[in-house]
Chain A
Amino acid sequence: MNGTTTVSFVGVGGQGVLLAANILAQTAMAQGYDVKASEVKGMAQRGGSVLSTVRFGKLVWSPLARHADVVIATELLEGRRALPLLAPQGALICARTIISPGSVLRGETQYPQDIEAAAAARSVTLLLVDAEAVARQAGTVRAANVALLGAASAKLPFSEAAWQQGLAAAIPAKILDVNQRAFALGREAHLNEEVTL
């Protein structure tokens, strides 16, 4: 809205959703944008859903937006759940990671299988990323959040240098290396995908 781009991060507590959001915020600042962000993290370590929103533009007023231009989801069900958050023609960049909630594990509910159809029905561009495989290739599955961000990076208006500044600003030095590799691998793998913003 008003020349501001909104990117929302969703996932499950413990997946590094907030870190990914912080990398994006730092990158947008490195690119010279005004940035505002907000997160709901009270239940973040208790396996609940997590939502973090980053907004950037020439001048950003509100830290919050009802609809996002891009949703980056570190888990498939959470990506599916976030579809209503997307503005029309928005993009969902979603990891193929599945973390079944208790009700699915106990057989009370079904894990949804309809993310492609639901995205198409909403005219949302969907990019599914095997983030855990990419991260494993980089050295640790824990970097799946950053691998996913790498896949999304090609679709966001930031330079390679800005991304590198964002990564360095948000990630502790001793795990920066492996995360840089995960980011690069994710970025390469999806550089040519058809996602228009």
Chain B
Amino acid sequence: MSETDPLRLGGHEFASRLILGTGKFSSVEVMARAVEASGTQLVTVALRRFNRERPEDDLCGPLAKLKVTLVPNTSGARTAAEAVKAARIARELCGSPFVKVEIHPNPHHLLPDPIETYEACKILAKDGFVVLPYMPADPVLAKRLEDVGCAAVMPLGSAIGTGHGLATLEMLRLMVEDSGVPVIVDAGLRSPSEAAAAMELGCDAVLVNSAIAAAGYPAAMAGAFAAAVGAGRAAWLAGLMARGDAASATSPLTSFLDCA
């Protein structure tokens, strides 16, 4: 299915519809095994000061070996200006055109600031970035972000790292119906069944980090998410049957037990 059904982001095509975050893993090796098991082609990374005491935290080398495309995020930014600056530094570092715009000023809930996000996306899209904004599950904002040139919209399922799943389900449904760019559920997923549900709804991809990094066996969970995303996408393409209010028999009801 994936051969003929690529995820398209700003002129780039990807067979995998699972994007992985690289945070919270217990080691670089555990992260690398999870990335491999997931089959992902896109991974997010964060820009931080190089720590000479912990050179092993530098992910450039390990991720280059895995041959994945980097999606630097702008985490730590509280304003559009800071996010734009982070995106430009990241592009200088790795040359990737992708950026995940992530602006969340409040550490209590880490919810994205819609106004600063919109302003940053406007600037970065004009600047030639493939802009992927982490955003509230708001269908109106999604259209506005599409209009300024975002390559996708990335609404949250629930707050980052909470594992509360698709708390925004009805809003996601509206976004999928309206969107002219891919809808990628980013944040809040805990289980592969939630990823499958998002895909069955018509979402184009999911971004998962905590659910895999904090699993008992991250690589195994990455494989489970990959299978769920594939199943959900296949189900969406196959076309789910309509829901009905009344029962509808699958076996013929013609009586025979009263014969003779």
Q: Do A and B bind each other?
A: no
**Contacts from B to A (Cβ < 8 Å):** none
